[in-house]
Structure 1
Amino acid sequence: MAGLAVGVSSMKAGERALLHVGWELGYGKEGSFSFPNVPPMADIIYEVELIGFDEVREGKARGDMTAEERIGAADRRKMDGNSLFKDEKLEEAMQQYEMAIAYLGDDFMFQLFGKYRDMALAVKNPCHLNMAACLIKLKRHEEAIAQCTVVLAEDENNAKALFRRGKARAELGQTDAAREDFLKARKHAPEDKAITRELRLLDEHDKAIYKKQKEIYKGIFGPPPQPKPKPANVLTRMWQWLILIGQWLLSLIYRLFKRERRKAD
C-alpha cells in the first residue's frame, strides 16, 4: 500500500492520524475483491495510530514472513512485554503487546485455519488480556473492558477474560454486570480464590449500599409524629373554674346546714 506507507512515514511514535489515500496510491483501478473488499477506483480513509518503529529485528519485513515466523515474532514481543510488566513499566509493556498484536492483525488472522489459527490465538489472546491487566492498573477501565471483549468474541468461556472484565466493570460501579462475569468465570474456574474474593467484595458493597439507603429512607420517612395535646381555650378554663366554685359552694352550704341542724337538736 504505497499511499499508506507515505502517510505513516511522516508520523511520529505515539501519534494518531486520519489518512486519506487516493485510489491511485490505494488499490488502483482494479480494486480488491478478496480481503479487504475494496471497489475499483475507491479512495480509502485510514485511522492510524503509530505504536512505534519495529526495527528489522526479525531479519525480514513482516509481509515476507511465513505464518510461523509472524507468530514467532509476535510471541517474542509478548515475552518482552511480560518482562516490562513485571518491572511495573506498564506503558512500555503495552507498546510491546500492541506490536505483537500488529503481527497478528485481522487480515492475517482471516487467512489462518486449523492449527495455525490456534497457534496465533495462543499468542494474540494473552496479549489482549495482559493489555487489560495494564489498563486496570492504570485505571483505564473502559479500555480494559474492550480488550477482554475481544478475547471473549473468540472464546466466550475464557475465565481470565471474564474475571478481568468483571474487575473493570466493578471499578466503574457496574456491579450487576461485574457479578455476571464473575459468576460465569467461577463456573469455568471454581477453585480460583481471586474470583471468590471479588464476589465477596461485591456482596459486602451491596450490603453497605443497602444499609446506607435504609438509613436515608429512615431519615426521610421516620416514625410518624405524635399528636401534641391541644392547649385548653379560655372558655374551657372558665367553665372548669365555675364547676370548681359551684362544688365549693355546695360543700359550704352542706356544712352550714349540718351545723344549724346540730344546734336545733
Structure 2
Amino acid sequence: MVKYSGYLEYMDKPFDTNCYRRNPRLMKLGKEITLLGMEVGLLTMKKGELARFLFTPSYAYGALGCPPLIPPNATVLFEIELLDFLDSAESDKFFALTTEQQETFPLQKVLKVANTEREFGNYLFRQMRFRDARERYKRASLILCHRSSNGDEQCQIDAAKLLVFLNLSYTYLKLERPVRALAYGEKALEIDKRNVKALFRCGQACLSLTEYEKAREFLVRAQKEQPFNQDINNELKKLASCYRDYMGKEKEMYSRMFAPVCTSPVGPELKNPLQLKGTVP
C-alpha cells in the first residue's frame, strides 16, 4: 500500500498522485506499478518509510514522455510513502502450479501462501469490501482444507484454519448471512471448542436468526471463558432485550387471536351510541 506524488521540474503541483484517496488501494509491482524507477525505489524501502526519488528519463517516461502531461526526456521527482506491503511471490508461485504439484508443495510454504491470502482478506475487510475479503478467506480455506498431515504438522494446519474460519464467520455476519456465519463459527469450534471468538460469533449469528436459546448457550459459554469481556456482556443484554420484545409480541398476538367476539344485535352501522338517541323519522 503506497502513497505517492509525481512532480515535473519547476512545478509545485503533482502531475500524478493518490494522496487524496482516503484508502489507497493495494498495487502490485509489475502490474499496477509499472514505472521502473518506482519499482526499483520501492524494493529499497521499509514499511512506514517516506522517501524522495529523482528519476532520469530511462527510469521514468523515456524519450517519448507521456503527452500531454510529461514532455520527452523528462526527469521527474517522486515522493513515496510505503504504508504497508505483502510479499505475494510465494502465493503467485503456488497458484501457477497444477493441482498435483500443489499437493507436494512444502507445508511451510503452503502455510505462508494461506497466510498471505488471509492478510489480503484482512486488508479488504478493513476497507469494508466484505465480499472481496470473503473470496480471499475462502481461497486460504481451500488451500488448508485440501492439505492433511499428522502430528505437529496437523496442529499447524489447524491453527491456520482456525484463524481463517473466524475471519469467514465475522465476514458473513457483516454480509448479513448469519447461517453461513454460524457454520464457520462451528467449524472453528471443532478445532477449539473453548475459543471465545468462535463462541461469540455463533451467539451473534443465532441472535440474528432469532434462535434465542442457542444464542444464550453460545454466549454463556463465551462468558465463562472471559467473564469481564464487555462485548460478550453487552451481547447478552441485547439478547435479553430481544427476547423480552419477542415474548411481548407473542403475548399480544395470542391475546388478539383469543379475544372475545362481540355478538351485539346492533348492526355495524349503529356502533356509535350517539346514533341511538333522538327520533327516527
Distance in 1 of aligned mates of 2:203 and 2:118: 24
1:110-189 map, 5 Å: 111-114=149-152, 116-189=153-226
Query: Is 1:105 equivalent to 2:145 in the alignment?
Result: yes
CA distance in 1, matches of 2:254, 2:179: 33
> Is 2:238 the partner of 1:201?
yes
Q: Is the 1:58–1:73 contact (alpha carbons within 8 Å) kept by the matching residues of 2?
A: no
Cα deviations by residue, 1:52-102 (Å, 9 ceiling, x for unpaired): xx7426786523421111111111111111111100111111111111122
Distance 1:142 1:92 in 2: 19
Aligned residues between the structures: 169
- Bigger proportion of residues as helix: 1
The residue type equivalent to 2:150 in the other structure is L
Who is 1:80 aligned against?
Answer: 120
Amino acid in structure 2 at the alignment position of 1:176: E
For 1:89, which of 117, 124, 129 is the aligned residue? Answer: 129
Give the whole-Å Cα distance in 1 for the aligned partners of 2:92 and 2:220: 44
Label 1:58 to 1:220 Cα distance change in 2 as closer, same or farther (>3 A): closer
Question: Cα deviations across residues 217-256 of structure 1 (Å, max 9, x unaligned)?
Answer: 5556679x9xxxxxxxxxxxxxxxxxxxxxxxxxxxxxxx
For the 8 Å contact 1:149–1:161, the answer to whether it is kept is: yes
Contact map agreement 2:200 2:219 (CA 8 A) in 1: yes
- Percent identical among aligned pairs is 27
CA distance in structure 2 between the partners assigned to 1:151 and 1:98 by the alignment: 14
Gaps of 5+ in 1: 1-53, 226-265
Matched to 1:113, the amino acid is G
**Structure 1 CA distance for aligned equivalents of residues 92 and 175 of structure 2:** 28
CA contact 1:78–1:123 (8 Å) conserved in 2: no
Work out which of the residue numbers 94, 108, 113 in structure 2 matches 1:68: 108
Q: Give the deviation of 1:177 after TM superposition.
A: 0.5
Distance in 2, matches of 1:212 and 1:63, equals 55
Determine the C-alpha separation between the residues in 2 that align with 1:100 and 1:212: 44
Is 1:211 matched with 2:257?
no
Aligned partner of residue 93 in structure 2, secondary structure:
coil
Which residue identity lines up with residue 104 of structure 1 in the other structure? L
C-alpha distance in 2 between matches for 1:135 and 1:213: 29
Of structures 1 and 2, the larger Rg is shown by 1
| Alignment check: 8 A CA contact 2:94 2:102 kept | no
TM-score by length of structure 2 reads 0.54
Task: Give the conservation status (yes or no) of the 8 Å contact 2:114–2:140.
Answer: yes
| Unpaired runs of at least 5, structure 2 | 1-90, 263-281
SS of aligned partner of 1:104:
helix
Deviations 1:117-141 (A, max 9, x none): 2322222111111111111111111
- Letter of the 1:85 partner, please give it: F
Whole-Å separation in 2 of the counterparts to 1:94 and 1:214: 40
AA aligned to 1:101 is S
Distance 1:55 1:215, change over 3 A: same
